[in-house]
Chain A
Amino acid sequence: MNNIALNIVLRFVGLVLLQVIICSNINFLGYLNPYVYVIFMFLYPITNNRVLFIFLSFSIGLSIDIFLDSGGVHAAASVAIAYVRPLFLKFSFGAAYEYQAVKFSNTNFSQRVIYFLLLIVIHHAILFSLVVFDKNEGLMVVKQTLYSSAFTLIVCLLLTSLFSKKEL
């Protein structure tokens, strides 16, 4: 149990640093950045203690906000996907989730892509509609959401396969 807690703390700190120091300075094509810290919400162990999970998600979002001077946009998006996560776990992994038997390292690739993609799109849609914060700029929100989601998805898949324990 202690090992898991330590793992979560390390992941928290590591992802925040990775995000603010490297990923937020990529500016691909001038404005695209991957928001890799969402991996924290994806890979958080499936537990019954959802209160702690939601609270931790809020903290990681808020830490990112403090570093990037963005008010509370990341916190809002993170809390939202933390809250809806069980729904998408059930949708993506089906029966295995019901028995709480999902281990991310054992799931097959396509299931994982769908799970990541859906949550990333929701996260980015909330994020960019709050960042832009202008009801006349709907098109820009959609555009940014789509492009950034693709970018984030690729980086997230690379990172998770890089750090997965599965033997090839």
Chain B
Amino acid sequence: MQQLFNFFIKNKTFVLFLMLFSCSLFLTIQSNEYHRSKFINSSNQITGSIYGTFHSITQYFNLKKENTLLQEENSNLKAMIYSHEILAAVDSVFEQKYEIQPALVFKNSFALPNNYLTLNKGENDSIKEDYGVITSKGIVGIIDATSSNYSRVMSILNTNSRVNVKLKKTNYFGILGWDGKSPDIVQLKDIQDLVKIAIGDTIVTSGYSSTFPQNIPVGSILSYELNDTEDLYIIEVKLFNDMKNLEHVYIIENIAINELRALNFSDE
């Protein structure tokens, strides 16, 4: 025992190095596994407020572009309202299924294989895990960790990200993932070779998962090829969103699913 202690004291630098190195390896491996990467994240109070302070400065650089984007979205929504005016008046038992909250992106990354965003809304704004995040142009990602004032989003530019999407024309659905290479292009898998597809076809969310409503735009088909066994397509999808430049996003809460979960819970 004495010798063992002596050994440790003599090699304390090496022991400390090994300890800290394996500790960081452990954290790295954890962060590569889906839903286990919450150990260390940037949605805590300190990092959130630091990012917030500097965001209030850098915000001004994008004002012009953001204004055009918001105006574009406004005009689209206005067009929708005017063409549905009569319908809306009839629909007296309108049921709200989704609640939408605006948020600002404090931190964004797209150069790594596993990218995350930090938003300025958290548990105090009743944001929870698994809420979807979108912009006016398309999907951004899914909330995967929250603190009281900030939340972290797993971007679709994350090799662990899986989103259920479908072809707008034919309603065939598949799973959207990312190979970690280009921040403009994501991959759609699991579409059968019987399905007719064409370059330029639109991909939208399927609505089969509770996170995103149906028909939120994702991207358009850039190219496609068959996989090794030649029965499924691997489709390259060009995103509508510019993931390199995100500022205003919306967080979607599925109210219906909360109700459903509450019901299930009371049954048990």
Please say whether chains A and B are actual partners in one complex. yes
B20 contacts A by Cβ under 8 Å:
yes
Give the number of chain B interface residues (Cβ < 8 Å): 40
Question: Within the complex, which residue of B13, B118, B152 is in contact with A54, where a contact is CB–CB below 8 Å?
Answer: B13
B94 contacts partner chain A, Cβ-Cβ < 8 Å: no
Minimum CB–CB distance from A144 to chain B (whole Å) comes to: 10
Which of B81-89, B107-115, B223-231 contacts the other chain?
B107-115
* B76 in the interface (beta carbon within 8 A): no
Contact B16 A69 (CB under 8 A): no
Contacts of A83 in B (CB 8 A): 13-14, 17, 21
Does B26 touch A at the CB level, under 8 Å? yes
Cα distance, A164 to B107, chains bound together (Å): 32
Residue of A nearest to B40 (CB): A66
Interface assignment of B25: CB less than 8 Å from any CB of chain A: yes
Question: Contact flags (1/0) for B18-43 with A, using CB distance below 8 Å?
Answer: 00110111111111100001001110
Category for how many chain A residues contact B: 35 or more
How many inter-chain residue pairs (CB < 8 Å) link A and B?
108
Pick from B16, B25, B26, B37 the residue with the most CB of A within 10 Å. B16
B150 at the interface (CB under 8 A from A): no
CA of A54 to CA of B113, assembled, Å: 28
Chain A residues in 8 Å Cβ range of B28: 71-73, 76, 130, 133
A68 touches B42 (CB 8 A): yes
Are A71's CB and B112's CB within 8 A? no
Does the CB pair B27–A75 fall under 8 Å? yes
Which listed residue (B24, B32, B44, B107) contacts A79, Cβ 8 A? B24
User: In the complex, are the beta carbons of A54 and B16 less than 8 A apart?
Assistant: yes
Closest Cβ–Cβ distance, residue A51 to chain B (whole Å):
6
The answer to whether B20 and A67 have CB atoms under 8 Å apart is: no
B8 touches A (CB below 8 Å)? no
Q: Distance (Å) between the CB of A89 and the closest chain B CB?
A: 15
0 or 1 for each of A11-37: is its CB under 8 Å from B? (1 = yes)? 000000100110010010011110000
Residue of A nearest to B108 (CB): A25
Asked if residues A58 and B24 are in contact (CB atoms below 8 Å), the reply is: yes
CB distance from A67 to the nearest CB of B (A): 5
**Inter-subunit contact A66/B42 (CB<8 Å):** yes
Q: Can you give 8 contacting A-B residue pairs, CB < 8 Å?
A: A31-B111, A58-B24, A69-B40, A70-B31, A71-B37, A72-B28, A76-B24, A79-B17
Query: Which 4 A-B residue pairings sit nearest by Cβ, starting from the closest?
Result: A71-B31, A72-B27, A72-B24, A75-B24
- B residues within 8 Å of A by Cβ? 12-14, 16-17, 20-21, 23-32, 37, 40-42, 44, 47, 50-51, 54, 107, 109-116, 118, 152, 180, 183, 244
